[in-house]
Amino acid sequence: MSVQRFTIRNDRFREVPSQSIPVLICLLLSTASLFAQGTRSEKILFNGKIVTSSARTPVAEAVSIAGDKIVAVGTLESVRGTVGDRAELIDLQGKCLLPGFIDSHNHAIGGGESLLIATLNDVLLTNKELGKFAKEAIKTKRGLRGDVLYIGGVHSSTWVSVDSLVDLFNKEPFNSQGVVLRGSDKHTAWVNNVVLNRAGINAQFIRTLPDTEKKYFGINNANEPNGLVSEGGYRKIDEAIPASPVRPLDAAEKGAQYLSSLGITAWLDPSAGNVREGEQNSHLEVYNTLLHQKKLNAHVAAVVVANANEDPASQVEVVKKLQQRYKAVEGMRILGFKIFADGVLEYPTQTAAVSIPYLNSKQNGSLMFDPQKFKEFAAFADKERLLVHVHAIGDRAVTETLNGFAYMRSQNGNTDIPHSITHLQIVVPADFKRFSHLKIIASMQLLWANADSYVVDLVKPYLDPTLYRRQYPAMSLLSAGATIAGASDWPVSSANPFEAIHMAETRRGQKGVLEVKEVMTRVEMLKAYTINAAKVMMMEKSIGSIESGKQADFVLVDKDVLKVSSEEVKKTNVVWTMFGGKIIYSRQ
Ligand SMILES: [Zn+2]
């Protein structure tokens, strides 16, 4: 970073006739105000390639800012006069300046925690490596929740060889130690016998469950639980083990700092607590505290997990009370609800709701709401001006969610609330156009759109081939007029937007390319991670592009993102991140 400070000569002084006292006073006053402005942190950033995400001026070379706002964008000449003569000059040295990145689905607090605990970060280990990792995690205490070993970020392929987990963790030296392996997808887990016993999960318990919940617990040939737990079944584990020793405030601070280092200056937190917590929402309180302490340099939009099968009125009331409680908090807005339409597609969990049964189980997965109830819920929330952000992975979940939104629009007309569906792993062609017709934003984690082991080993053998080909249909949705917003689902996977951009335009994973016709262009991906994600957060008027009047949130990167190859773009580094006109992260 090169920051120079110098005063541009004020040529107007030369024209002042010395005898013209009133004019001189007037000019002195205006000069004084210019100086005052200079101290009010005016800046000109110049000599860069500024990729604005704005249709009006897609690329510029200079931008002026005053305080936390952008004043003008254009050539150095054109922006020079828009701020005072003492404006700080920041030479971008030919580097690339972008709007601060916006992530439309990011669990920043859980992400921060994942940086502070024992986590595998989705790396698939052999049994031997896993045993070694577990011992180390106990030794360093990073993996301990009280007396229980808790390892996060576990790759879903681990569940395929459940017998080897039983072998490893129900024997010496782990058999007197509680062990929890939590899937990186946060929908799955495996626990050993110590934890099963403590949670009261045994054959008798599973027998008493309704069919809809039985499938959340894996069983062996003798009908005994084998330790696999998914979806809502995990709540029993959570209640039986000690809480994380990481203070949520520390996790949030760590998460926010990390996201700044990736150039992310805004995100939608898709599970900022649960309506069940009522007004005592610890998640929102953490953000609130961090904002008060001025340790959160980002805009946060929050949605609270709700259950579409339950009464919408009381859940709306909870969110309205939360909005009231935090209405004065600058930097955090509570927009509405997160709803789960289904689970995940991977074997053995297979809780994603699909239109054609899984080849192994002949089941259609779990639609987690009653479609009729979701319709009523969405219509009620929309009427109360609350946003609904839906997790939908299987095509049946996507279709039913769109059906609900169609009903909502038919009841309420087109309110300007940008409801969104996230993940969208399988979408049937008949649904492509409905996104633009119904004005529903597609929030997509395109880092997942490739032939990796998740897709090739855990999905392909069990999914109807027609559905397999319909995975992550980004370009089809875009061509049908959908707005695609970038999202990471961090800490489920990397939050780095450049890794997602690389994958979206190659779709090439370790095991091949997934439907090459669905590749996205660079420009569309940059829009997805800036202006389009701002729309999901209902903030597109104030952030998401480099335009006059918007907040000065920028990221300076070391590559020309409009020119470099796909292989190069994923190696792009953030030089610094600016939030509201202040540099909040700088490399080195
Ligand atoms: Zn998520």
- C-alpha of residue 226 to centroid of ligand 1, in Å: 26
23 pLDDT more than 80: no
Residues 6+ apart with CB under 8 A from 351: 187, 215, 230, 231, 342, 343, 344, 365, 366
Bridging pattern class, strands 554-557 and 96-99: antiparallel
Tell me what the pLDDT averaged over the chain comes to.
92
How many angstroms does the Cα of residue 53 sit away from the middle of ligand 1?
A: 26
Closest by CA position to 259, among listed 440, 503, 494: 494
Q: What are phi and psi of 412, to 5 degrees?
A: -105, 0
How far does residue 270's CA lie from ligand 1's centre (Å)? Answer: 6
Output 464 or 33, whichever has higher pLDDT. 464
User: 318 alpha carbon to ligand 1 midpoint, in Å?
Assistant: 21
Distance 253 CA to ligand 1 centre (A): 19
Distance 337 CA to ligand 1 centre (A): 13
Residue 136 dihedral angles phi and psi, to the nearest 5°: -65, -40
Q: Percentage of the chain surpassing pLDDT 70? A: 93
**Whole-number Cα distances in Å, 12 to 38, 64, 82, 161, 460:** 17, 20, 15, 78, 71
- Measure 269 CA to ligand 1 centroid, in angstroms: 8
pLDDT at 40: 61
Q: For 476-530, how does the pLDDT look when each residue is reduced to its tens digit (9 = 90+)?
A: 999 999 999 999 999 999 999 999 999 999 999 999 999 999 999 999 999 999 9
Distance, in Å, from the CA atom of 63 to the CA atom of 463, rounded to the nearest integer, reads 51
Ligand 1: distance of its center to the CA of 96 in Å? Answer: 30
Ligand 1 center–CA 68 separation, angstroms:
31
Question: What sign results for the dihedral spanned by CA atoms 7, 12, 17, 22?
Answer: negative
pLDDT of residue 262: 98
Alpha carbons 353 and 368: distance in angstroms, whole number: 8
Centre of ligand 1 from the C-alpha of residue 546, in Å = 28
- The protein residues having their C-beta less than 5 angstroms from ligand 1 (an ion) are 489
How far is ligand 1, taken at its centre, from the CA of residue 271, in Å?
7
3 state SS of 348: coil
β-pairing, 387-392 vs 2-4, is unpaired
What is the distance in A from the centroid of ligand 1 to the CA of 492? 7
Distance CA 31, CA 338 (A): 52
Residue 161 has pLDDT above 70, yes or no: yes
The count of other CB atoms within 10 Å of the CB of residue 113 is: 22
CB 239 within 8 A of CB 199: yes
Ligand 1 mean position, distance from CA 442 (Å):
14
Q: Which range, of 10-24, 311-325, 374-388, 529-543, averages the lowest pLDDT?
A: 10-24
Buried/exposed code over 439-451 (b: 16+ C-beta within 10 A; e: otherwise): bbbbbbbbbbbbb
pLDDT band at 203 (very low <50, low <70, confident <90, very high): very high
Cα 2 to middle of ligand 1, angstroms:
38
- Please check whether residue 64 is in contact with residue 79, taking contact to mean a CB–CB distance below 8 angstroms: yes
CA of 268 to the centre of ligand 1 (A): 10
| Cα–Cα dist 62/568, whole Å | 25
d(CA 529, ligand 1 centre) in Å: 16
Residue 22 has pLDDT above 60, yes or no: no
CA of 105 to the centre of ligand 1 (A): 6
190 Cα: distance to centroid of ligand 1 (angstroms): 19
Q: Is the per-residue pLDDT at 11 higher than 80?
A: no
pTM of the model: 0.88
CA distance 538 to 84: 32
Distance CA(544)–CA(537), nearest Å, equals 10
Taking residues 45-56, what's their average pLDDT?
96
Query: 574 near 503, Cβ under 8 Å?
Result: no
pLDDT, one tens digit per residue, over 237-284 is 999 999 999 999 999 999 999 999 999 999 999 999 999 999 999 999
Cα(106) to centroid of ligand 1, in Å? Answer: 7
Q: Report the separation in Å between the CA atom of 10 and the middle of ligand 1, taken as the mean of its atom positions.
A: 54
Task: State in Å: Cα 84 to ligand 1 middle.
Answer: 45
